Each structure stands twice: as C-alpha cells, then as structure tokens.
Amino acid sequence: MKVLVINAGSSSLKYQLIDMDSERMLAKGNCERIGMDGSIFIHKTSDGRGKRVQVPMKDHTDAFMYVTQALTDAKVGVIKNLDEVSAIGHRVAQGGSIFRKSVLVNNEVIEGIRSLIPLAPLHNGPELEGILACQKVFGEELPEVVVFDTSFHSTMPPKAYMYAIPYEYYKNMESAVMASMERPTGMSAAIVRI
C-alpha cells in the first residue's frame, strides 16, 4: 500500500510517497514559490535520483500536476502509474471546533474546511485547493484523509483555550465563521456546530 502525503502551505506544497508495507519513503519533494515568479519544483527519491527545475506554478493545482508527473516519470519516478497510490493524507492547519479528529474527505468536510478559511486564511485555502486537485487527478473514490493541526488541542477545557483572549473575540470569530459557511442540503449538525 502506497500513501501520498500532502502538506500545502500558502506558497508551497510538500509531499512524500510512502510505502506502508515497508514503512519506507519512496519519494519526496517540494513546490516552492507557488503563484510567484521563479517557482521551483524539487523531487528526490530514496535511491538518490531527483530533479530540480524552475517552472511556472500559478496555483496549487499546477503544483500538484508536477508532483504526479514526477512520481510516474521514466527517469525519476517511483511508480508506474497513479493507480499504485492507495490513499492520500492531507495536513490542514485549522479544524476549529468543527473537526476534533482526522476525517475522510467528503463534501461536508470540504465545506467545513472552506468555512474555516477566515481562521487560517494563508493555510486552509491552499490546503483545500490541494484536496480538490487530488480529487481531480485521482477521482473522488480514492480515500483521502485530513489531519488537523488543531486536533491536538481539541481536548483542552474551554477555560484553557479561551484564557488568552477576551471572550468577545471568540464570539466574533465564531459568528464570522458561521456567516461565511454555506450549509449544503443534508449537512449534518455536527459539521455546523461551533
């Protein structure tokens, strides 16, 4: 089983392809300066092959296309085709109080992440773009899992996570997130709960 792990930042996309049977990293890389002049794509394999090229990357979708091309490339690739990828993992910065643990990606999760962009505007937007790019390339049938940085703190009691800020700030941000969220038909109450 091979798992592709994605970490999309505001102007970068880091990745690793891991063989879970041997627990070995097969390839890793970085797309740097996404959306800027002088974008750089770096790809390295566990056996020392690699490439570093300056290429245009207007967004994270472009960056992800370079990743998939490198993984299957005749010279620096580590898999014959993308069907060898069994699952994808994404790191997402902000799960707010909506996501307290890792979740499988579905439409509700996508809308939940989108609603939390105001809490992490430099991260959740690009991370969501990475998820959507993966769905375009691999289809929606391939399992994608999202791991939230904020899950670590989700078991803290309110007095601990609200101590450092005035309560009005917390309520104002909660209202802003709720106002920005478009609730699709059938969205569960658990996703909307803040």
Residue of 27, 109, 37, 97 whose CA lies nearest to 69: 27
Determine contact, residues 66/57, Cβ cutoff 8 Å: yes
* Distant-in-sequence, close-in-space partners of 5: CB < 8 Å, separation ≥ 6: 15, 16, 17, 18, 88, 89, 90, 91
Report the catalytic residues: 149
Helix (H, G, I), strand (E, B) or coil at 31: strand
Determine contact, residues 124/117, Cβ cutoff 8 Å: yes
Residue 184: alpha-carbon gap to chain centroid: 22
Residue of 60, 54, 122, 51 whose CA lies nearest to 92: 122
